[in-house]
Amino acid sequence: MSEFLRSEIVQKELYDMQRLYDRLSNIVEHLSKLSQEEKIEFVEQTKMLIEKQKIFHTRLKLASYNDEKIKEIVDNMDRLSMVFCGSPMSTVLNTMSDKLDSYIPS
């Protein structure tokens, strides 16, 4: 495993993202039953997850300059993102964040 991925900080970030994802996945099953306020909170937490993912993706890209295994991970992520979404991962994350902004009343 890459030194970057073994980092305690990186492990904590991955754990935190997974916990947030799991929490949101459990909520989505009951989304139609949530109050407007709860739906807004759900959208805000989803945006928080996306922001964490954007930061992590950027850190991966930076680490990929010095780590061939990380470069493979980034390349695979972008390749899969292109296949399933038609855009690189960073574009998909930005688009998702922008889309969620439109759901939050100003």
Residue 106 lies in a domain: no
Q: Are 3 and 24 in contact (CB under 8 A)?
A: no
Average pLDDT, the chain: 93
pLDDT for 77: 95
Residue 30 lies in a domain: yes
Q: How many domains does the chain have?
A: 1
Residue 97 lies in a domain: yes
Residue 87 lies in a domain: yes
Task: Name the amino acid, one letter, at 27.
Answer: I
**Helix pair angle (8-28, 36-63), 10° resolution:** 150
* Cα–Cα dist 41/56, whole Å: 23
pLDDT for 105: 66
Residue 48 lies in a domain: yes
Residue 47 lies in a domain: yes
Residue 46 lies in a domain: yes
Digit-coded pLDDT (tens) for 16-45: 999 999 999 999 989 999 999 999 999 999
- Is the model's pLDDT at 106 over the cut of 70? no
Residue 55 lies in a domain: yes
* Cα–Cα dist 37/15, whole Å: 27
Q: Are 21 and 15 in contact (CB under 8 A)?
A: no
Give the domain extent around 36.
3-101
